Each structure stands twice: as structure tokens, then as C-alpha cells.
Amino acid sequence: MPAKWEHFDHGADIGVRGIADTEAGAFEQAALALTAVITNPDLVRCTETVEVHCEAPDHEILFTEWLNAIIFEVATRNMLFSRFEIKLFKESLTATLCGEAVNIQRHSPAVEIKGATYTSLKVFQDDDGKWIAQCVVDV
């Protein structure tokens, strides 16, 4: 099964989930799911890169820090991102986000994401060896 992202229902908020062969890949796919809450990721061109660094005591909290770092960059730079390259370490990650400035006509942003939460937070390897990273984001 190839890497993928998906949403899952959670009341008024939205769950994001990344699934991949590696933990870093699951984080990257969840970031695409985050973008897909706002707009179709296929509409976001890769014209500018942004570097981020996150630290946390475990990979579940690191996952929420990662998503919140993206949400911060979206809000402060008025950008959307469609490509993510992550390097995971024991208690940190470094990543390159690639995207472009929001274009209201082309992107038609649906919602503003306020933050990643600990609700339904999980980072684990399933019985088939796939990595899954998920949580609910507040919209």
C-alpha cells in the first residue's frame, strides 16, 4: 500500500492521519492532510521553501509540535504548503516545507486551522509495518 493521507470525523473538528512505510513519511502525509483541510494540495505550487525545527520529549508530542509549526507558518507567512521533507531524530525533527503564497481565487481556502490537539493523538506502527500518525485539528 502506498503512502497516503486521510481525514477522520471528529464532531466539529477534523482528524488528520498520515500513513506510510516510515514514521517520517507518516508525518509528511499527515502534513498533506493538514493542507487538504484548507485546500486541495494539488493546487499548491512549490515556489518557496521554509525550514522548521521542532523538539519534544516523545514522538506523539513531536507530531503535534510538527503540525503546529506548519499552522504557524501558514498563518504568519500567508502561505500554503504541498511538499514536506522531514528528518526525524530521537527528540526533534527538522523539515523543509515547500509551497506558495495563498491565492484566494485558485486555492479557495475552506477554513482556518487553529491548532493541532492531543485528541485522538497516536503515532505507532501497525501490524502490517505501516506507520500511522494522527490527531484532531481545531478548526
Q: Which is nearest to 26 in space by CA: 46, 2, 61?
A: 2
DSSP 41: G
Predicted local distance difference test score (pLDDT) of residue 7: 82
Domain 4-138 coded CATH 3.40.50.1220 = no
CB 51 within 8 A of CB 94: yes
Q: Measured between alpha carbons, how far apart are the two ends of the chain, in Å?
A: 30
Instruction: Please give the mean pLDDT across all residues of the chain.
Output: 95
Q: Give the residue from 55, 62, 76, 56 showing the smallest Cα distance to 30.
A: 62
Where residue 104 falls among pLDDT bands split at 50, 70, 90? Answer: very high
pLDDT in tens, 20-63: 999 999 999 999 999 999 999 999 999 999 999 999 999 999 99
Residue 109 has pLDDT above 80, yes or no: yes
Q: Are 17 and 7 in contact (CB under 8 A)?
A: yes
pLDDT score of 6 more than 90: no
Query: 31 exposed, middle or buried (CB, 10 Å; 0-12, 13-18, 19+)?
Result: buried
CB 128, CB 2: distance < 8 Å: no
The stretch 4-15 carries a mean pLDDT of: 81
Cell of 62: 513531536
Question: Hey, where are the domains in the chain?
Answer: 4-138
108: left (phi over 0), alpha (psi -120 to 50) or beta: left
Coarse DSSP helix, strand, coil percentages of the chain, rounded to the nearest 5 percent: 30, 40, 30
